[in-house]
Each structure stands twice: as structure tokens, then as C-alpha cells.
Chains A and B, each alone.
Chain A
Amino acid sequence: MKKYLTIVLALMIALCPVAGIASETKDDDQVGSWLPLDPADYTKPVTPLPLGLQESDPVGKKYFNDTVFIGDSITLKLQRYVTEKRNAGEECLGRAKFLTAGSLGSGNALWEVNSESVHPSYQGEKMRIEKAVELMDAHKVYIMLGMNDVAYFGIEESIVNMKTLVGLILEKQPGAEIFIQSATPRISKVTSRPTNRMLFDYDILLYNACVENGWNFVDVAYVMRDENGYLFDAYCSDPEDMGMHFTDEGCEAWIEYLTTHGKER
């Protein structure tokens, strides 16, 4: 009996940092019963459960038709993967569009567009993200940024920049639903900045920001991490270099996660 109680107690302690998360399916529930998570509560850069939107039945075929995916070179690989599938006649994320640029971050996305800026292009014209989202008339906005922010701006400022960026998007496209994806991890042998720990801490604070603001958090990083929080080797296309970009297998895991962690209206 004593052993049983010890196990139950241990489980409760292990799940403590995500209390109130697993049952979050509605924004009201999130805000009502929620305490901010503290990255310091996690000894390893892993969570016992995914944060934010929880697993659901696969979303309908039309779910992503009104979606734009915004991101850096990580999302650019997803775009290439999806494009190749579609051009081969396969259905892949519906008619979702992409706004991607290598080196893009929530920080430099706020800069003015000029000949040297790294804003993504919409139909060949480089422009601010919020303007492109408006022109696309996207109703679901999935954002994955941070890899080019955390090392340069620090975690706190990166969160502030993300909040500013989302605010600008919602000004231009007021009805849009925001889905913030966690920044994905790097493989174990990479030690350059942003470190895996920095990315994890950023994700935790990003999750807090999502709950505070009523945005959806899609914890893609959860499915990319091994038991120590590193990117699975099989998902990494550049293990000898940056150790953060995805293989086709990584993209498949990503898409699977997206389709089973949606939010049908």
C-alpha cells in the first residue's frame, strides 16, 4: 500500500509543472485554471506531456485551406516537402500557404522592409508579415519563429517581439486564429547558441504568453524531442552543421502532429 501511494505521489509531482494543461481544450479553461509555467521546474528540456492543444481526431481535409504557415528555414523545409508532395499529386496540408524566409525571426520581422531585410515574399514581393497575411486573407495563422531570435535578442525580448508581431497580424487580420508552434530542438552534439536549453526555456515562456493572450499553442517540439530533449537524429538533415533542420521523416512527424492537434471551430 505504501509503495502504491509513493508511486501515485511521484506521478503527481512529475506532472505538477503541467497542471491544468492536459485538459485544456478551450481558451476559457486555460485562462481560468492556469498558473504560469517556470522553466526552472524542468531539470531536463522535456515536458511529460505536450503543452497547449492536446491530441484530437485528425482534422478535416479542409482544415488547413485557410491557413498560412509563417517561419524561418525550419518551416521552409516543410514548405518544400509539402510542395513536392502536392506536385506529385498527393494531398498535403490542404491548400495551406507559406510565408518563409531563411534567417527570419520575430525580431527582424518587425524591421522596415528594405533591400537587405529578410522579410518573406508574397507572390514575389517582399513585404511585412502582417501585410502578407492580410493579402492572403488567412484565417488560421501558424507561426514558428525563435531560432533566429533567442541567441540575438534573449528569451524575454524574443517573447515581447512575438507578442508585437502577433498584435500587428491581428490588427490587419482581426478574425485570424493564432497558432504558435514551439521552437523545435537541436541534436545533442550541437552546443552553439541557441542551445537546446535556451530553446526549451523560450518554448515554456512562449506557452505562457499564448495562454495569457488566448492564442493556441501547438507543441510541435514535443514530438521532435528524445528523452533528453534533443532532436531525434533521424529527423535532422544537417547533423554536421547546425543540427536543427529537418529530414523528410521529421516533416512527416510534424505534419502528423499538426493534423492530430488542431482546433476545429
Chain B
Amino acid sequence: MKRIAVLLLAVAMIALAGCSGGTAKTVDLNAVKDTLAAQYDLTDMMALSEDDILDVYGIKAEDVKQFVALVARTSTSADEILFFEAVDADAAARVKEKVDARYQAKLNEAKDYMPDEYEKISACKVETSGNCVSLIVSADAEAMTKLYQDAFK
């Protein structure tokens, strides 16, 4: 009986360790991206690879369980969609730090010469939920963020 209780406890702990921060739901971040793509035009965005996320954000592959990183194909759009699920809480903290830095850099770079993009970025924010870190910069960020959050419910 004791062994079964320990086993159940272990299973519960593993389930609680995901992005949901307690709701035990595992979310496929690429599926979330597909849901967004079905409702919003993301054709002007391009996906970054594992190598790219190290080069661009400084996020190491070993810190990440799964990710989606989309950036605008042009350099005059600040649009960016970042979903990271870190391997554990420590890694999540490191990823959050890098995404925060990215967000600040985007603000700085747009401030003086792309006022519309600056406003767009300012209206967005980095969010964390359990071991997941996200940033959605888009004119539709609010609605997209809701879709992202709904995926964890």
C-alpha cells in the first residue's frame, strides 16, 4: 500500500512539473503554433532552429524541452512569437532571463525609428507559466496570448 502511495505521489509530481504549473496538462507547443497559424496570417514569419536560438537569444538546447521561435521575415516588423518549455525550474529561470533581454532589446531598437512597432512591443510582455516562457509580439498579441493560455486549460 505504501509502495503504491509513493508511486502515485511520484506520478503526480511529474505531472505537476510541466508548463501548466499545477494543472498537469502537457502541451505541444508546435500544435499551439499551428492553432495560431490557422487563425492568423503568419506567412510573413519564419521559424528559427535550435542553433538559431543559441545565436539569437543565447538559449541553450539542453535547457529546453520543446520550443517554437518565429520571427518576422522583414527587419521592419517587430513581430515575434516565442514559446519555450524548459527542462526544469532552474532552466526556466535562465530562459526567462534571455527572453526578457530580447524583449528589452526589441524595445530599444524600435524606440527611435519605428514608433508604431515600439508601441506594439510595449503592449506585449514576457509571460511564464510553470516551466514555460512565452513572448508574443504582434498586433494580435492579446488574442493570440489567450489562445496560448487556453491550450493549458
Residues of A within 8 A of B58 (CB): 121, 123-125
A-contact bits for B99-128, CB 8 A (1 contact / 0 none): 001101100111111100000000000000
The reply to whether B114 and A245 contact each other, CB–CB distance below 8 Å, is no
The CA of A115 and the CA of B100, in the complex, are separated in Å by: 11
Cβ of B31 under 8 Å from chain A: no
Chain B interface size, as a band, is: 20 to 34
B-contact bits for A110-129, CB 8 A (1 contact / 0 none): 00000111100101111000
Residues of A within 8 A of B72 (CB): 80
The reply to whether B76 and A238 contact each other, CB–CB distance below 8 Å, is yes
A-contact bits for B66-84, CB 8 A (1 contact / 0 none): 0000011111100000000
The CA of A87 and the CA of B73, in the complex, are separated in Å by: 13
The CA of A76 and the CA of B71, in the complex, are separated in Å by: 12
A-contact bits for B28-72, CB 8 A (1 contact / 0 none): 000000000000000000111100101111110000000000011
* CB interface residues, A 41-78, toward B, < 8 Å: 73-74, 76-77
The reply to whether B74 and A245 contact each other, CB–CB distance below 8 Å, is yes
The reply to whether B110 and A102 contact each other, CB–CB distance below 8 Å, is yes
- Given that A83-B46, A124-B57 are known contacts, is A237 also in contact with B76, CB under 8 Å in the complex? yes
Contact of A116 among B49, B108, B113, B114 (CB under 8 A): B108
Cβ of B25 under 8 Å from chain A: no
- Chain A: minimal CB distance from B92 (Å): 15
The CA of A87 and the CA of B74, in the complex, are separated in Å by: 16
- Given that A102-B113, A103-B112 are known contacts, is A123 also in contact with B54, CB under 8 Å in the complex? yes
The CA of A241 and the CA of B108, in the complex, are separated in Å by: 20
The reply to whether B108 and A148 contact each other, CB–CB distance below 8 Å, is no
Cβ of A190 under 8 Å from chain B: no
- Given that A84-B46, A87-B49, A102-B113 are known contacts, is A117 also in contact with B76, CB under 8 Å in the complex? no
Contact of B101 among A101, A104, A126, A237 (CB under 8 A): A126
- Given that A101-B109, A123-B55, A125-B58 are known contacts, is A73 also in contact with B104, CB under 8 Å in the complex? no
Residues of B within 8 A of A121 (CB): 56, 58, 101-102, 105
Residues on B facing A (Cβ under 8 Å): 46-49, 52, 54-59, 71-76, 98, 101-102, 104-105, 108-114
17 further A-B pairs in the complex, CB-CB below 8 A; given A80-B75, A124-B57: A76-B75, A77-B74, A80-B46, A80-B71, A80-B74, A83-B46, A83-B48, A87-B48, A101-B109, A103-B108, A118-B109, A124-B58, A125-B58, A125-B101, A126-B105, A241-B76, A245-B74
Can you list 27 A-B pairs with a CB-CB distance of less than 8 A?
Answer: A73-B75, A73-B76, A73-B109, A74-B75, A77-B74, A77-B75, A80-B71, A80-B72, A80-B75, A83-B52, A84-B73, A87-B46, A87-B52, A102-B110, A103-B109, A103-B110, A115-B104, A117-B108, A118-B105, A118-B109, A121-B58, A123-B58, A124-B56, A124-B102, A126-B101, A245-B74, A245-B75
